Amino acid sequence: MEGAPKPIDTVDESYTKPPVVTEAVHQAFQPPNAVPAKLTPATSTTLLGTWIPASGAMPTNPHVTLGSDGTWTGTDGCNDVGGRWVIDAGGRFLTTASWSTAIGCDGAPIPEWVAAAQRAAFDGATLVLLGRDGHEEGRLARG
């Protein structure tokens, strides 16, 4: 097969074959729904800073901080997470994430919201993170 990687004895041969692009895979790579008309798309400037659950601060301090250098760090209250982020003019939000721990505690799944979001917008001063199909992942307030 032209351009295929050479097989490695210790790796399953299936990794040398091209992926099968099914309808489900095709749909997963479609652009996310647009920001709803009642919301204002976020920008790289309006996202900067620290965000906490819109319901208010919690003793475990779940939060996310979006930096001007394109990095983000956060916690659900006991697990630290970080990655990179970028946003376009229409509020399309793309992140990477690397999880560091997996401890259960009382908090808010803010890092999960950030990792799952594909659009970011504002409802007044409240940051709304939206999934690909437009559903709300979570709401955040400035911390």
Question: Could you tell me the domains of the chain?
Answer: 32-142 (2.40.128)
The 10s digit of each residue's pLDDT in 107-128 is 899 999 999 999 999 999 999 9
Look at residue 91 in the predicted model and tell me its pLDDT.
96
Q: Tell me what pLDDT residue 61 has.
A: 94
Residues whose CB falls within 8 Å of the CB of residue 104, separated by 6 or more in sequence, listed in order: 78
Whether 44 shows a pLDDT value over 90: the answer reads yes
Q: Does 1 have pLDDT greater than 60?
A: no
Instruction: Give 75's strand partners.
Output: 63, 80
More confident residue, 81 or 7: 81
